[in-house]
Chains A and B, each alone.
Chain A
Amino acid sequence: MLVLVFFTVRLTGDPVGLMVARNATPEQREAFRVAHGFDRPLAEQFIGYLGNALGGDLGKSLRLHLPNAELIMQRLPATMELALAALLLSLVIAVPLGIISGVFPGSPLDLLARLIGLAGQTIPSFWLAMILILVFAVNLRLFPTFGRDSLEHLVLPAVALSVASMGQMVRLLRSAVLEVSRENYIRTARSKGLSEIVITLRHVTPNALIPLVSVVGVNFTYMLGGSVYIETIFAWPGLGTLLNDAINDSDFPLVQAITIFIAAFAIGLNLLTDIAYDLIDPRARQR
């Protein structure tokens, strides 16, 4: 975590050149540098920033003149709502579909599963979002196009955001089921005379779901990234629009604060995933 924050701060380099108007005089640049503490040695800046960050102070936005932490917390619920909805949607569709397609390769549902798997890899979410708006909002008038008022507003953005992870989950589950089906214990279960339904539900499914655990965590953080496009397109008032606005305004402290926040969130989630993995898979515990 420490290394990561330091890394991020280093990566952003000298922000003065980006934040000051191009025609600023050297004196103006210097004044700006001093005012924002960029004149101090990098290590000192880093330690100062780090201390503040750990205390929940992520600096102040240059354009909005509000504490970054406050801005983030304001927007966080909307993003969480969208990302969780998208995650839930991918799970609800991907889990049954992935398992069925693995158990019955070649069936019509398998074809559907493979199509979804392919769509996740080949259709950019931001383009899908625009097509969804055109079809379901503009032409069919089934859903609202932007904003966040009711559950209806959530449908299109959640669908657009979920496709990539849904596709990945379907592909993963399908191959996991195919792989597990070849294991010896499945053959044993079959030779014991267990019905196919019992074998699928009690032996294949739990084992095939194990690799999904790690994907769920990773996908959730990727959705936070993907929300930058989706939120912007649907004018969803979350972290993604905040980040996009901050980029467009060259509001450097805010961009940095949001990325650090997302990074910290991702690391926390990775840790949780690892713990969950240990709880679920006894093989991981032994190592």
Chain B
Amino acid sequence: MPVRIFDALSPRQPRLQLRVRLPYGVHRLLHDPGALLGLILVSLVVLTALFAEQLAPYGPTEGSLLDAKRPEVWQEQGLEGHLLGTDQLGQDILSRVIYGARVSLAVGFFGVLLASAIGVTLGMSAGYLGGRVDEAISSIVNLLLSFPYLVLVIIIATVFGRNLLNVIIIFGITDAPVFARLVRGEVLRLRNVDYVVAAVGLGAPTWRILLRHLLPNLVGPLVTLMTFEMSAMIFYEAGLSFLGLSVPPEVPSWGNMLALGRKFLYIFPWMSIYPGLAISLTAFGVNLLGDWMRDVLDPRLRRAD
């Protein structure tokens, strides 16, 4: 079995990582209140998104104009059953915030997945094949990276229609250069490592080197970057909604709620406070989790403190 020779030469990073580092990660998680808080926050948001129907007291677009414009339940004008008040159409703010988690998480999760898939493909090709391929890919990547991100997203979003899939695709494409740059750099470093050179010397096919020897070593930095990019994407989706360029206005997304809330900011401030709080808490949780992942998965960045 000639195939096994290549495997024997490679240090088999993924399994090794799991055996050695998982306990470290768990240890770190239990002793780092920040990481624990991050995990709790993110799990809460994910569960909220998954079980929105069960958790929300009302449907996202359900409401009566008779109940409209009421503040939180603890305020004088508050209405029983509408904990965080209602908007100008009588829709329950709490329910809309709960359903809004779906849009933010969907964009964050699938956007990052698409961006990393494109970025890894481009970055690996550029880093491993080098030469003209590298030049072409790198120049496009650098071009896109030098562009103010928000402006880039705005131009594309004005062309595409307003729906969830388009938003995910836009973020997936525009964010890919960040991943491509990371992967290219890592591949350039790894291709000269002994076990890769040995595998090449033994005549291992390119796909095998890329998938078995390089990709597993990219997992650590990739997952870390994915976490941070996910929180950035949740931000940008809200921003795009805020400008009226993301999902249609009737969809309960946090950015849409803020865009609407801005119009009523002086009279019904509660319409703006809670969706923004939801964005901040989610970003906070994802960032804490990202810090933990970086510490655990990327030993070079492991901090002494």
Q: Could you tell me which A residues sit within 8 Å of B by CB distance?
A: 3-4, 7-8, 11-13, 18, 105, 118, 121-124, 126-127, 130-131, 133-134, 138, 221-222, 224-226, 228-229, 232-233, 243-244, 247-248, 250, 252, 255-256, 259, 262-263, 266-267, 270
Contacts and interface: CB of A to CB of B under 8 A. Distances in A.
Contact of A225 (B148, B156, B276, B283): B148
Contact of A259 (B151, B261, B284): B151
A18 B154 contact: no
A126 B159 contact: no
Contact of A18 (B155, B159, B242, B273): B159
Contact of A243 (B154, B258, B279): B154
B151 A262 contact: yes
A229 B242 contact: yes
B54 interface: no
A95 B150 CA distance: 26
Interface string B92-103: 000000000000
Contacts, number: 106
B305 interface: yes
A228 B154 contact: yes
Given A118-B284, A222-B148, A13 B159 contact: yes
B191 to A, nearest CB: 21
Contacts of B242: 126, 229
Contacts of B283: 121-124
B262 A270 contact: no
Nearest to A126: B242
Interface in B118-151: 139, 143, 146-151
A259 B149 CA distance: 11
Nearest to A250: B158
B146 A267 contact: yes
Nearest to A258: B151
28 contacts: A3-B139, A3-B143, A12-B158, A18-B158, A105-B305, A121-B287, A127-B279, A127-B280, A130-B272, A134-B265, A222-B149, A224-B148, A225-B148, A225-B150, A229-B239, A229-B243, A232-B243, A233-B262, A243-B154, A244-B243, A247-B244, A255-B154, A255-B155, A255-B158, A256-B155, A262-B148, A263-B147, A266-B148
Contact of B287 (A4, A122, A127, A138): A122
A263 B158 contact: no
Contacts of B214: none
A142 B229 CA distance: 37
Contacts of A262: 148, 151
B183 interface: no
Interface string B181-196: 0000000000000000
A133 B238 CA distance: 19
B9 to A, nearest CB: 34
A144 to B, nearest CB: 13
A253 B235 CA distance: 27
A285 to B, nearest CB: 21
Contact of A121 (B154, B231, B262): B231
How many B residues touch the partner, as a band? 35 or more
B266 interface: yes
A134 B269 contact: yes
A222 B150 contact: yes
A121 B285 CA distance: 11
B155 A12 contact: yes
A131 B154 contact: no
B243 A228 contact: yes
B245 interface: yes
Contacts of B265: 130, 133-134
Nearest to B228: A121
B272 A127 contact: yes
A124 B280 contact: yes
Nearest to A119: B280
A225 B283 CA distance: 20
A256 B154 CA distance: 10
Contacts of A248: 244
B161 to A, nearest CB: 10
Interface in B202-225: none
A250 B280 CA distance: 31
Contacts of B284: 118, 122
B151 A247 contact: no
Given A12-B158, A124-B280, A127-B279, 13 more contacts: A4-B143, A118-B287, A122-B280, A124-B283, A126-B239, A131-B276, A222-B150, A228-B154, A247-B244, A259-B154, A263-B151, A266-B147, A266-B148
A229 B236 CA distance: 11
Contacts of B155: 8, 11-12, 255-256, 259
Contacts of A131: 273, 276
Nearest to B236: A124
Given A11-B155, A11-B159, A131-B273, A124 B239 contact: yes
A130 B235 contact: no
A65 B146 CA distance: 31
A248 B150 CA distance: 16
A117 to B, nearest CB: 10
A263 B280 CA distance: 29
A247 B235 contact: no
A262 B147 CA distance: 8
A36 B276 CA distance: 42
Given A4-B143, A118-B287, A126-B239, A225 B280 contact: no
